Amino acid sequence: MATHPNPAPAPDLAPVDLHYFAPPVALRSYFGSLYRFTVTLPSYRDVTRADAGQLRFMMSGDGHYTFHDGRDVATPEVCLLGPTMGATSFCLDSPSDVWGVSLLPLGWFALDGGDVSRMVDGLADMTVEHGPDYATLLEQLRDIRTDNVESAARIWAFLGSRLQPVSSTRQGVIESVDAWLSDEHSPRVADLVTATGLSDRQVARITNRLYGGPPKLLARKYRALRCAVRIAVDHTPWQELCDSSTFYDQSHFIREIKHFVGLTPHQLMTDPTEVARLTLQRRDMGMAMAEINRIS
């Protein structure tokens, strides 16, 4: 992917930095945190945990993602990244400055309207998917590069104006699934069937379309993310979590954390990467947001 002429982040910034901005009250059911990620190093490699969908604006820099199945894909300047069901590696080939926002299931549906399963562990160019307005916003962000407050306000106003109405029935189903995934214990599919009043098959079809996977896979993903936060942020001994959670044994626990987070429990406790450290600390940022986003 060709680089653009806009300047790289200022050299006085930290080598790797990440700042979060809470969504306005009216948008908290649609989006998680807005963030600005900057890297001043000439190149940088790291890994990100399994996550919800993301919309990212490459203010400067270029690079690529390597998904957990080994596919390597260059990132477009306005990148729609689908939900990931495993840790994803990324490489930046130059100093970079990126605005991004987490798309909660309701936000993805209201913005895109399509089946999210088509985008799992994949990405698309948002200017191709949804027109040139996204490229226009990117240029506006580059023009006001130094003003985070104005940039954040511009992004929220733009996204809010793009949301399509979502039926109360669909919103109710999403709220039920969010609440189910937010359960501190390992969620049981039978509980979700009861909460929604739908059949097993209907529930699976809905979670695939809105979350990118069947209920059992989603339960595994969010169980691993909750455990990772408790290890990295609360410093809970991972052996204690293994014993108190529904894992078969320590080997199973380690494999699940490694698959969904990209690091072993020991690495999370003693030597997390910069991105792991910065993203997992999001829970303690004091931001009011949807519970499903806070636990990751």
The confidence score (pLDDT) of residue 286 equals 45
Cβ–Cβ under 8 Å, residues 67 and 4:
no
CA 92 – CA 61 distance, rounded (Å): 7
The confidence score (pLDDT) of residue 123 equals 96
Cα dihedral: 135, 140, 146, 148 (round 10): -80
The confidence score (pLDDT) of residue 245 equals 67
Structure tokens at 111: 């913005």
Bridging pattern class, strands 31-39 and 96-103: antiparallel
Over the stretch 273-289, which tens digit does the pLDDT of each residue have? 888 888 876 655 444 44
Bridging pattern class, strands 78-81 and 123-125: antiparallel
Domain 16-162 has CATH 2.60.120.10: yes
Cβ–Cβ under 8 Å, residues 186 and 246:
yes
Q: Phi and psi dihedrals of 121, rounded to 5?
A: 50, 50
Bridging pattern class, strands 88-92 and 44-48: antiparallel
Residue 100 has pLDDT above 70, yes or no: yes
Q: Which H, E and C letters describe 118-185, residue by residue?
A: HHCCCEEEHHHHHCCHHHHHHHHHHHCCCCHHHHHHHHHHHHHHHCCCCCHHHHHHHHHHHHHHCCCC
Structure tokens at 40: 């001043």
Computed over its alpha carbons, how large is the radius of gyration of the chain? 19
The confidence score (pLDDT) of residue 1 equals 39
CA nearest to 22, candidates 230, 234, 228, 283: 283
DSSP letters of 234-283? S---HHHHHHHTT-SSHHHHHHHHHHHHSS-HHHHHH---HHHHHHHGGG
Specify the DSSP class assigned to residue 104: -
Confidence of residue 56 (pLDDT cuts 50, 70, 90): very high
Confidence of residue 184 (pLDDT cuts 50, 70, 90): low
Residue 110 has pLDDT above 80, yes or no: yes
Over the stretch 240-254, which tens digit does the pLDDT of each residue have? 888 776 788 899 999
